[in-house]
């Protein structure tokens, strides 16, 4: 069941949309904003609201890199895998994150706190290497800075 | 206004966005007022056409010509659409972010003029998912423009009304392709469509639609204000205007600069980016993002405009160049790009869906010491097969560009990987 807040936000989008289905990406992102990801059940509810088949909506949901059809951690780290970051040592940043967090890219820590994902070029090539944590961009990363950011993130959980 | 740098001259040095008051303080919204009150839609299209402004998203199509293909007046009753393509995801490109974050009202004003020229009643900004700062600043700018009556009903007391909406994407590179972008906005699976019909005739919801890049639209208010000749005079060659040039890689000052079209690669790299960083030597560059061909030392004095970069064997693209240095493996460089393009293939046509992952695997086999000379031949052969005319859109040919030129300029590096049974750099 969609919550009342989710329903009213989706209806708000549909009000000025040309067709119901043209609100589908917004609707999926609204659900994800509140739940962290889009479950099968939530997807079916959105499909009903937009008068689409679940299969068709799922083919759209799974097309996008940032609509999550599996649960993710409380925080999601996107470490840039783009060419400019790679030149500037972005793979070292990813390797360090993997060993610090004890997970591989694509996985979530056992406590469910942090998911690590490789990300497409983040358009921060003048600040390479870069990563995005939730909605914050971190650029010109060094290993020391990275440790500090991760420590702060972990402290924030306590 | 700084006339040598119309797009960025008024921007704040602290990278905050110009507020609507600050923007109006430097002459903002005068062009939209002039267009809507003193000019006909055809006159607005004409001045943009005369200016020779070429699309700044990468393809370089003439903007005024694109607008002039939209059916006008009673030939086309019913809705028409303008879409700003702000889905910047080209590897190595970061210029549209700068324009949207630094001066969102300049973009909105350009869109008002453009929408008026084609008589579109609704406009969209299609924004990349992870441009959070740009999203916030554009939302505020749209609200502020509404409050002042620059968006909405009967703008400046004219008969023209415009509804502008911000759409934030779910994140996929192919959405930057204009027909895929249209599919995305319709709530379809965003795969590219065949052309013709071109969007100018049948685009969003089957209606006439113009899709323009952020930088293209950011130029419009200045052209309306100062005219076509002024715009042409900004450039060092016969292709008008300024361009946002960018440099990333091991240089002293990676960044973005607004410079005359036709500035040489050498000037951008050595003067503005401060040359190669200590301990690094220049080996080559992609002049316009990840889907453009390599250029090398012999090309450094090429003026950066569409024609001259093409003559040198590449494309101006986004004009955000990626520098290859002597401590970075060119095969690893190409493999990183190929992996990206393979992942971002929409999967609709076979050469792209099957071909790009195959090429990526083959490129990584050089790293693992598994490649033979025969693999170089296969890579070479495929650059002709996964190419324009054999794929549905320009995605796979774009992926081929750095590979084809890389095979040409870095053949010895491919051979070295075979001899060393692995990457000599690692």
Distance (Å) from the alpha carbon of A64 to chain B's nearest alpha carbon:
5
A150 to chain B, any CB pair closer than 8 A? The answer is no
Q: What is the C-alpha separation between A69 and A32, in angstroms, rounded? A: 9
Q: Is the pLDDT of residue A158 over 50?
A: no
Q: Which residue has the tokens 């409050």?
A: B147
For residue B424, give the nearest of B335, B337, B329, B360 by alpha carbon: B329
Q: Is the pLDDT of residue B1 over 60?
A: no
The predicted model gives B257-262 an average pLDDT of 98
Mean predicted lDDT score pLDDT of chain A: 95
Q: Which CATH number fits domain A4-61: 1.10.8, 1.10.10, 1.10.287, 2.60.420?
A: 1.10.10
Q: How far apart, in Å, are the Cα atoms of A16 and each of B137, B154, B163, B175, B183?
A: 21, 19, 10, 22, 18
Would you call A18 and B205 a contact, using CB atoms and an 8 Å cutoff? yes
Query: Which residues in chain A are contacts of B132 at CB distance < 8 A?
Result: 135-137
- Which of B94, B332, B343 is opposite residue A125, by nearest beta carbon? B94
- Tell me the pLDDT tens digit for each residue of A14-33: 998 999 999 999 999 999 99
Distance (Å) from the alpha carbon of A66 to chain B's nearest alpha carbon:
5
- Which of A22, A59, A64 is opposite residue B171, by nearest beta carbon? A64
Q: What is the C-alpha separation between B406 and B331, in angstroms, rounded? A: 8
Domain(s) labelled CATH 3.40.30.10 in chain A stretch across: 75-157
Would you call A87 and B185 a contact, using CB atoms and an 8 Å cutoff? no
pLDDT tier for residue B13 given thresholds of 50, 70 and 90: very high
For residue B426, give the nearest of B304, B319, B335, B317 by alpha carbon: B335
Q: Is the pLDDT of residue B213 over 50?
A: yes
Would you call A63 and B189 a contact, using CB atoms and an 8 Å cutoff? yes
The answer to whether B190 and B175 have CB atoms below 8 angstroms apart is: yes
For residue B105, give the nearest of B18, B214, B13, B10 by alpha carbon: B18
Tokens of A138: 């971190």
Closest CA in chain A for residue B402: A83
Sheet-wide strand order for B122-127? B163-168, B122-127, B81-86, B209-213
A128 to chain B, any CB pair closer than 8 A? The answer is yes
Would you call B290 and A121 a contact, using CB atoms and an 8 Å cutoff? yes
pLDDT tier for residue B255 given thresholds of 50, 70 and 90: very high
Domain(s) labelled CATH 1.10.10 in chain A stretch across: 4-61
Q: What is the C-alpha separation between A36 and A29, in angstroms, rounded? A: 9
For residue B95, give the nearest of A84, A66, A145 by alpha carbon: A84
Query: Which residues in chain A are contacts of B169 at CB distance < 8 A?
Result: 25, 64
**Which DSSP category does B18 fall into?**
P
Tokens of A30: 């609204």
Task: Please state the domain extents for chain B.
Answer: 20-233, 242-325, 330-420
Q: Which residue has the tokens 């919204």?
A: B29
Between CA B276 and CA B282, with CA B278 as vertex, the angle to 5 degrees is 35
Between CA B288 and CA B295, with CA B291 as vertex, the angle to 5 degrees is 55
The predicted model gives A34-51 an average pLDDT of 98
Q: What is the C-alpha separation between B399 and B110, in angstroms, rounded? A: 32
CB atoms within 10 A of CB B15: 10
Domain A75-157: give its CATH superfamily. Answer: Glutaredoxin (3.40.30.10)
For residue B89, give the nearest of B243, B289, B249 by alpha carbon: B289
pLDDT tier for residue A154 given thresholds of 50, 70 and 90: confident
Would you call A22 and B131 a contact, using CB atoms and an 8 Å cutoff? no
User: What angle, rounded to 10 degrees, do the helices at B41-51 and B214-226 form?
Assistant: 100
- Tell me the pLDDT tens digit for each residue of B119-164: 999 999 999 999 999 999 999 999 999 999 999 999 999 999 999 9
CB atoms within 10 A of CB B162: 22
Which residues lie closer than 8 Å to B158 by C-beta, 6 or more apart? B36, B37
The predicted model gives B265-288 an average pLDDT of 98
Instruction: Identify each DSSP E strand in B293-415 by its residue range.
Output: 320-325
Helix (H, G, I), strand (E, B) or coil at B353: helix
- Tell me the pLDDT tens digit for each residue of A56-90: 999 999 999 999 999 999 999 999 999 999 999 99
CATH of domain B20-233: 3.40.50.11540
Top CATH class, B330-420: mainly alpha
Q: What is the C-alpha separation between B264 and B295, in angstroms, rounded? A: 13
CATH of domain B242-325: 3.10.20.600
Closest CA in chain B for residue A119: B340
Helix (H, G, I), strand (E, B) or coil at A44: helix
Q: Which residue has the tokens 């990206």?
A: B340
Chain B interface disruption, residue of A87, A119, A134, most B CBs within 10 A: A87
Give the pairing of strands A131-133 and A136-138: antiparallel
Q: What is the C-alpha separation between B423 and B426, in angstroms, rounded? A: 6
Would you call A120 and B332 a contact, using CB atoms and an 8 Å cutoff? no
For residue B53, give the nearest of B179, B182, B218, B178 by alpha carbon: B218
């Amino acid at each position: 069941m969609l919550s009342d807040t989710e329903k009213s936000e989706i209806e708000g989008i549909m009000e000025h949309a040309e067709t119901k289905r043209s609100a589908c990406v917004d609707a999926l992102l609204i659900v994800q904003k509140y739940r962290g990801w889009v479950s099968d059940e939530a997807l079916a509810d959105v499909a009903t609201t937009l008068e689409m088949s679940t299969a068709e909506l799922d083919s759209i949901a799974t097309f996008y890199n940032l609509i999550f059809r599996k649960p993710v951690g409380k925080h999601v780290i996107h470490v840039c895998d783009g060419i400019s970051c790679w030149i500037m040592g972005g793979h070292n940043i990813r390797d360090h994150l993997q060993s610090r967090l004890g997970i591989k890219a694509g996985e979530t820590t056992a406590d469910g706190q942090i998911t690590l994902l490789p990300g497409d070029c983040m358009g921060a090539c003048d600040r390479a290497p870069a990563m995005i944590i939730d909605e914050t961009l971190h650029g010109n990363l060094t290993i020391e800075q990275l440790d500090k950011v991760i420590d702060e993130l972990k402290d924030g959980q306590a | 206004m700084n006339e040598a740098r119309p797009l960025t001259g008024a921007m704040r040095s602290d990278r905050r966005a110009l507020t609507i008051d600050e923007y109006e303080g430097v002459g903002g919204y005068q062009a939209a007022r002039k267009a809507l009150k003193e000019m006909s839609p055809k006159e607005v299209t004409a001045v943009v056409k005369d200016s020779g402004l070429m699309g700044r998203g990468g393809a370089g199509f003439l903007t005024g010509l694109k607008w002039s293909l939209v059916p006008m007046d009673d030939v086309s009753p019913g809705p028409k659409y303008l879409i700003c393509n702000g889905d910047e995801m080209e590897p190595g490109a970061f210029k549209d972010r700068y324009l949207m974050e630094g001066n969102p009202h300049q973009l909105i004003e350009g869109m008002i003029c453009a929408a008026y020229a084609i008589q579109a009643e609704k406009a969209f900004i299609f924004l990349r998912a992870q441009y959070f700062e740009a999203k916030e600043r554009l939302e505020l700018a749209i609200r502020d423009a509404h409050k002042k009556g620059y968006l909405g009903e009967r703008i400046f007391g004219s008969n023209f009304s415009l509804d502008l909406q911000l759409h934030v994407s779910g994140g996929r590179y192919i959405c930057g392709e204009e027909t895929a972008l249209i599919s995305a906005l319709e709530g379809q699976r965003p795969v590219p469509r065949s052309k013709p019909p071109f969007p100018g005739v049948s685009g969003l919801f089957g209606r006439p639609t113009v899709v323009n890049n952020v930088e293209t639209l950011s130029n419009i208010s200045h052209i309306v204000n100062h005219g076509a000749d002024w715009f042409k005079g900004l450039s060092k060659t016969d292709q008008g205007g300024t361009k946002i040039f960018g440099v990333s890689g091991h240089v002293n000052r990676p960044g973005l600069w607004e410079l005359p079209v036709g500035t040489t690669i050498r000037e951008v790299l050595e003067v503005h980016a401060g040359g190669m960083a200590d301990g690094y030597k220049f080996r080559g560059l992609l002049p316009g993002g990840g889907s453009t061909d390599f250029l090398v030392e012999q090309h450094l004095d090429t003026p950066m405009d569409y024609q001259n970069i093409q003559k040198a064997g590449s494309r101006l693209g986004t004009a955000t160049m990626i520098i290859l240095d002597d401590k970075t493996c060119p095969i690893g460089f190409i493999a990183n790009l190929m992996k990206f393009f393979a992942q971002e293939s929409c999967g609709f046509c076979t050469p792209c869906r099957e071909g790009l992952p195959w090429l990526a695997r083959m490129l990584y086999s050089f790293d693992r010491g598994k490649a033979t000379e025969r693999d170089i031949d296969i890579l070479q052969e495929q650059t002709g097969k996964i190419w324009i005319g054999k794929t549905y859109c320009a995605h796979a040919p774009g992926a081929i560009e750095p590979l084809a030129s890389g095979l040409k300029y870095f053949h010895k590096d491919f051979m070295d990987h075979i001899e060393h049974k692995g990457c000599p750099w690692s």
